[in-house]
Amino acid sequence: MMRIIVRWIGAILGVSLLFGGSVQAQSTPETYAVLSAPSPQDFPTLQPMLKVFSRAGRFVHGLSKSDIQLYENGIAVPLQAVKEQRVGVQVVFVLNPGVAFLVRDSQGNTRYDDLLNGLVDWARRRLGSTIDDLSILVTDGPSRSHLSNPLELFYTLASYRVSGDATPSLDSLIKGIEIAADPSPREGMERLVIFITAPLSGDQSLAIQNAVQQAQQAGVRIVVWLVSTAATTTPQAIDALRPLADETQGRLWVLNKPEDQPDPETILEPLRDVYLLQYVTSPAGGNERQLEAEVQIGDEVIRSQPVSFRIDLQPPNLVFLAPPAEIVREPPQTVSRIAEALQAFEPQSYHLSLLIEFPDGRPRSIVKLRAYVDQQLILEQLEPPFDRFVWNLQEYTQSGQHVLQAEIVDEFGMTAKTVPTPVLVKINRPLPAPSRMLSRNLLLVVLTFVSFTAAFLALVSVLRGQLVPTSQRLSRRLGMRKKQPLDPLTQPVPIPPLPPLRTGAYRSGEPRSSSPPSSKPPVLALLYRLGESTEGEPKGPFAMVTDVLPIGRNATQNLLVIDDPTVEGLHARLERQTDGKFRLYDLGSLMGTWVNYTPVSQEGVTVEDGDLIHIGRVGFRFHVRESSLQASLTQPRGEN
């Protein structure tokens, strides 16, 4: 009784499938649109692809700009162009044979023979066309990838025979999806897998779901041809494969007899065309963007699913190329008058160069250049070149440090600034000519000369006795000159010479020596100047022999004199503390004092043996004399 029931169920299914060999993949609307994300390489002009299909799966031709509206991040953007193009299909035929492939008809042909004959017949009709990218893959069999000749594709199967123990597997489908996802020869080509399979055995739901996810991520459609017979096809076998087509915008056919086999051309032809859209996006849209299309066909308005894409847009980088640390302005040698020299100081301008880089890899035009000195705008340039400018120096007549900065604006409205760069502008004023000074102060010079001459002559006359005071001359004439008794209290007393004094300290009870001690003071520390010494400066290290060492350019104020334009008259001070440590102080200098490339404030910083000291731009290596330091720490105090 059970056998009769099973046969009746099989007959009913066979009749239903006989009249409905094709099973639509999903309940789609009358028309639907598929939008692909644009490539960001051509920013700001973007070209997304659009495909519009009817419910029967046919491509909708003849659309124009007035029929399509794009929305980027929810804002309508005008289309510049709409162009219909024929790009072809990147299709992979995946044969997954099983026992159903070996079922023979009344003439002795197997189902596999019928499949192969239908595919070869399609290939002959496509002979000469190379628009499609074709691949074939057989489970446990031969494979060829990315061919353009359809006949060459199926010649691969000329020597292949289906084995009697062939078992269908989804592994070949996964490989087919990977081949379909390869880079296509033309942009916008549809990616398709035609999966020709025998009914699967066992529970394959997990493997099918993995295949669906992989196809969705790669944008691959899956068309399923289920090869079976009316007696062996079950609803469970169909439902197991349905998600492959339903969730990838594909289609499912059940082939119970050779007549059910569809023509591949009816599947591929609607997928060969595409609309190429073109619009200009705004840099203000951000990096993460979303795009969707609205299509109007007659009275029907359809909307595509939104697609997301990313535009990596970064502001440019801007840096000075070899900026000067110091600019010295001085009059030319041919100018002698001070007023004329102030007007003719050289240089009167300085040329600065800029390096412009685009870290996002999108070179673009610069539309504006600004230059600032001490945060004040001194120049705005709207015409190229934008990678250099001229700094006018005529208004700078006093020495001082200034902060220079440049700013650019690109065609996307993005700005970039250089880091603030300090530049010292130094003014070397001319000395007045001696003849001009003499002419201005001639009367004063003459009076001074006469006064000094008269005083000098008078002094000489007194010393030679030619000039005698009036009282003495009167006494001589009257004979009143008498010898006065000498007052012993007011007369000079001869004093014997003292023995040489000993300037050094001595210990209690130590016999005094008549010979003078050594006057050479102990060396507390050494300062080795980095680089070669300049002409006129002493060679070798500078020895610190006092507890306080003033440092600067003025020879009357400092013990360590440095002749360098970056050093102040009184620049810094190095002291030896009571605990034997050394401390360096900056005295408010312009170019600064540094220890190991760290700026030193007026509060000072402790300096240790081996530290690197910079006074302005002049560098020293500091070394403590250990013996002197130890001696200074252990030396007892002298007697009171």
Q: DSSP string of 458-527?
A: HHHHHHHT-S--HHHHHHHHHT---PPPPPTTTS----PPPPPPP-S---TTPPP-SSPPP-PPPP-EEE
Task: Note every long-range contact of 609-614, with CB atoms under 8 Å and residues 24 or more positions apart, other chains counting.
Answer: 612/530, 613/527, 613/584
The answer to whether the CB of 125 falls within 8 A of the CB of 177 is: no
The CA distances from residue 416 to 286, 352, 413, in Å, are: 17, 17, 10
- Measured between alpha carbons, how far is 12 from 5 in angstroms, rounded to an integer? 11
Band (298; pLDDT cuts 50, 70, 90):
confident
What local confidence, expressed as pLDDT, does residue 482 receive?
45
Residue 538 has pLDDT above 50, yes or no: no
Q: Which of 499, 320, 341, 299 is nearest to 433 (CA)?
A: 341
Model confidence pLDDT, tens digit, residues 467-490:
555 555 544 554 444 444 544 444
Average pLDDT over residues 346-375: 92
Q: Could you check whether 32-86+275-310 and 317-427 share the same CATH topology? A: yes
**Residue 636 confidence (pLDDT) above 50:** no
Q: By mean pLDDT, which of 105-119, 337-351, 538-552 is the weakest?
A: 337-351
Residue 462 confidence (pLDDT): 61
In this structure, CATH architecture of domain 525-624 = Sandwich (2.60)
**Of 101, 117, 138, residue with least CA distance to 229:** 101
Residue 604: pLDDT over 80:
yes
Residues in the chain: 640
pLDDT of the residue at 469: 56
Residue 60 pLDDT > 70, yes or no?
Answer: yes
Kind plus residue range of the DSSP H or E element containing 233: none
243-278 per-position pLDDT tens digit? 999 999 899 999 998 888 999 999 999 999 999 999
Among 549, 550, 552, which residue's Cα sits nearest to residue 563? 552
Mean pLDDT of the chain: 81
Measured in whole angstroms, the distance separating CA 443 from the mean position of its chain's CA atoms is 71
CATH of segment(s) 32-86+275-310: 2.60.40
Other residues' Cβ atoms within 10 Å of the Cβ of residue 389: 19
Radius of gyration of the chain (CA): 51
pLDDT at 532: 52
Place domain 317-427 in its CATH homologous superfamily.
Answer: Immunoglobulins (2.60.40.10)
- Give pLDDT, residue 536: 43
Residues forming beta bridges with residue 401, ordered by sequence position: 424
User: Are 563 and 533 within 8 A, CB to CB?
Assistant: no
CA distance 418 to 404: 9
Mean pLDDT for the stretch of residues 283-306: 89
Tell me: pLDDT of 174 over 90: yes
Give which of 440, 574, 25 is closest to 251, Cα–Cα: 25
Alpha-helical regions (H) of 322-469: 338-343, 434-440, 442-464
In angstroms, the CA 524 to CA 577 distance is 12
Tokens of residue 245, six digits: 């087509």
Flag whether pLDDT at 369 surpasses 60. yes
Burial class (CB within 10 angstroms; exposed 0-12, middle 13-18, buried 19+) of 135: buried
Q: What percent of the chain has pLDDT over 90?
A: 50
Structural tokens at position 277: 């859209």
Nearest CA to 88 out of 129, 56, 60, 50 is that of: 129
The predicted structure's pLDDT at residue 7: 43
Mode of pairing for the β-strands spanning 317-321 and 366-373: unpaired
pLDDT attached to residue 618: 93
48/82 Cα distance (integer angstroms): 10
Label residue 460 by pLDDT band (50, 70, 90): low
Q: Which residues contact 628 (CB under 8 A, 6 or more apart)?
A: 522, 523, 524, 525
The pLDDT value given to residue 335: 54
The predicted pLDDT at position 341 comes to 53
**d(Cα 392, Cα 351) in Å, to the nearest integer?**
9
The whole-number average pLDDT for the span 608-612 is 94
- Range with the lowest mean pLDDT among 308-322, 377-391, 450-464? 450-464
pLDDT confidence bin for 501, thresholds 50/70/90 = very low
Topology of domain 89-270 in CATH is Rossmann fold (3.40.50)
Cα–Cα distances in angstroms (integers) from residue 509 to residues 61, 506, 512, 638, 639, in the given order? 122, 9, 9, 12, 11
- In the chain, domain spans: 32-86+275-310, 89-270, 317-427, 525-624
Q: Answer yes or no: is pLDDT of 499 > 90.
A: no
pLDDT in tens, 195-254: 999 998 888 889 999 999 999 999 899 999 999 888 778 888 899 999 999 999 899 999
Residue 284 DSSP class: G
Contact 243, 222 (CB under 8 A): no
Is the pLDDT at 358 greater than 80? The verdict is yes
What would the mean pLDDT of 343-351 be, rounded to a whole number? 85
Is the overall model pTM greater than 0.85, yes or no? no
Q: Would the pLDDT of 23 be above 60?
A: no
Please say if the pLDDT value at position 379 is more than 60.
yes
pLDDT(515) > 70: no
How far apart CA 124 and CA 115 sit, in angstroms, is: 15
Hey, what are 443's tokens?
């009367």
Q: Which residue has the tokens 């050094």?
A: 504
Identify the bridge partners of residue 290 per DSSP, sorted by sequence position: 308
Higher pLDDT, 386 or 432: 386
pLDDT tier, 621 (very low <50, low <70, confident <90, very high otherwise): very high
Residue bearing tokens 């208004």: 395
pLDDT at 630: 55
pLDDT value at residue 410? 92
Predicted local distance difference test score (pLDDT) of residue 470: 54
- Between 366 and 519, the more confident residue is 366
Tokens of 472: 């003495």
